[in-house]
Structure 1
Amino acid sequence: MEVQCHPHRYRSILRGSDSPAIHGDIPLEKLYDQLCAGVFLNNRTEKYSVDKESQKNCFMMYARGFTIACSDKRSCWKWVTEEDESSNGVLVEMAELLKKRRLDALGKFEVSNLSRDTTYKVVFVIKLTQSGYGWEDPVNFGVTFPDGTKEERKVNLKEKPKGEWIEIKAGEVSTSECKEGQMEVFMFERGGHWKSGLVFKGVLIRPDN
């Protein structure tokens, strides 16, 4: 296979790979198909892949790598292990909200791992169960950039379909303007209603094609 260019910082990113077999100095030509399929990082809390068409870096941040308020309380959250269809059925952990008034989830990502001169979409991947309730108030989804500025939007989950994975755009990041530092992605709702039935898979960071 002819590889037109080297994916941005791929060797540095692969140092966090869960597979010892690709930690070494392996030629890119031998790694490329695996990079396109996706490589799990940091105990399956992230997945790194390369878009075959654009050869841009893509990432999935799984729920287990987020700070989720009260996720250690069994009365509030349940950690479920399910097959990730985008990863050939590999098992990953997802967080299911059982009962809680306040929803708070925060994740951090190093912007320098994104490909240069590219606009990325930041997208939450969630599912609402059929028995879910309490979503009368809109949920805030957003991104805080390394310079402290924010992009944020409110989404009414009551209008979303139940029982299937849906994508909620939190914002966009342009690596022409934002080249390094940590950005934060967040989801919260702090109203007074008891809430249940949201399954949080993670956040996709992918080129806006």
Structure 2
Amino acid sequence: MAHSADSTSGTNLQAQSKRAPAPHMFREIVANEKATDLAAMEDQACTGIFLAGKTKKYWVDERTRHNCFMLLPRGLAVTWSEDPRYWTWHALKEGSDGEAEKIEAVMLQNVCWLEVHGKLELSHLTPGVTYEVVFEVMLKDPAYGWSVPVNLQLKLPDGTVQQRKENLLEKPREKWLQLKVGEVKPQMGQNGEVGISMFEYDGGEWKRGLLIKGIKIIPKK
């Protein structure tokens, strides 16, 4: 029996030694979640962990071990999103077929004032990695009111602002689109809030047909 126990102990130590180092800031990222088994959460990180009441999805690239995030619509500040005259909420599946989970996406019904804001802690991104920030959206017919380009803005903790415009008028319908907001390359020790926005309220047109799945912050390919 003693030999068996020693053997089991040795196997456990060997398994621990083979475990890859924890992802950058892993404990801090999952600190507010109820699960107590950090090792199990680490194993789950490659397929994705929903955080903060499914307002955010966190996963780790299996090859590079870089952190990745998706800010889900329930965690975004969407002007008038609780009024069904302007926005409605719809269940969608997020993730690969075998691991897909339901999330809530938000669908634009009719607004002239489009304003969506999200935020993420900069220190949770892997240092030295260039990240691309994109809105993942779909235009669903009857989509209208998009003759004026939307503004996409990325604001870094040091006050730096990246801003660009995206013309949705000629974009394909019924297909997921990646609207690039900007790029960020965090350095070790940097922290603070990264602000991510999409807005258009100067054109005065009533808009319809924009389905928002979330904001992805992923390493640039």
CA–CA separation in structure 1 for the residues paired with 2:96 and 2:56: 13
**Mapped partners of 2:23, 2:207: distance in 1:** 42
Q: 1:180 aligns with which of 160, 173, 191?
A: 191
Q: Deviations over 1:135-175 (max 9, x none)?
A: 00001112111111111110000121100111011000111
Q: TM-score, normalised by structure 2?
A: 0.86
Question: Which residue of structure 2 aligns with residue 78 of structure 1?
Answer: 88
> Which residue identity does 1:206 align to in structure 2?
I
> Residues 105-144 of structure 1 correspond to what in structure 2 (within 5 A)?
105-144=116-155
- DSSP-derived class of the 2:38 partner: coil
Shift of residue 26 of structure 1? 3.4
Task: Give 1:177 shift.
Answer: 7.9
Query: What aligned pairs does 1:8-157 form with structure 2 within 5 A after superposition?
Result: 8-17=24-33, 20=34, 23-27=35-39, 30-86=40-96, 88-157=99-168
- In 2: Cα distance, 1:26 partner to 1:168 partner: 34
**Aligned 8 A contact 1:79 1:93 in 2:** yes
Of 18, 21, 42, which aligns to 1:5?
21
Task: Tell me if the contact between 2:68 and 2:217 (Cα under 8 Å) persists in the aligned partners.
Answer: yes
CA offsets per residue over residues 95-137 of structure 1, 9 Å max, x none?
1000011100001111111111111110110000021111000
CA contact (8 A) 2:79 2:115 kept: yes
Secondary structure in structure 1 of the residue aligned to 2:169: helix
Question: After the TM superposition, which parts of structure 1 deviate over 2 Å for at least 4 consecutive aligned residues?
Answer: 1-6, 30-33, 85-89
Give the TM-score, by structure 1 length.
Answer: 0.91
What is the distance in 1 between the residues matched to 2:187 and 2:143? 41
- Measure, in 1, the Cα distance between the counterparts of 2:128 and 2:105: 32
Is the counterpart of residue 194 in structure 1 residue 194 in structure 2?
no
8 Å Cα contact 2:152-2:166 kept in structure 1: yes
Matching residue's letter, 2:210: L
Q: Which runs of 5+ in 1 are unaligned?
A: none
Return the alpha-carbon distance in structure 2 between the equivalents of residues 5 and 43 of structure 1.
27
Provide the identity percentage: 37
For structure 2, list consecutive stretches of 5 or more residues without a partner in the other structure: 1-14
Q: How many angstroms apart in 1 are the aligned matches of 2:41 and 2:75?
A: 25
Based on CA coordinates, which of the two structures has the bigger radius of gyration?
2
> 1:34 Cα shift?
0.9
Cα pair 1:111 1:178 within 8 Å, conserved:
no
Aligned length: 203
**DSSP 3-state at the match of 2:102:** strand
What root-mean-square deviation, in Å, do the aligned CA atoms of Structure 1 and Structure 2 show? 1.7
AA paired with 2:174? Answer: G
| 3-state SS of 1:117 partner | coil
Mapped partners of 1:123, 1:178: distance in 2: 24
> How far did 1:89 drift?
2.6
- 8 A Cα contact 1:127 1:163, kept in partner: yes
Alpha carbons of structure 1 residues 116 and 72: separation in structure 2 relative to 1, 3 Å: same
What is the rounded CA distance, in whole Å, between the counterparts of 2:49 and 2:20 in structure 1? Answer: 20
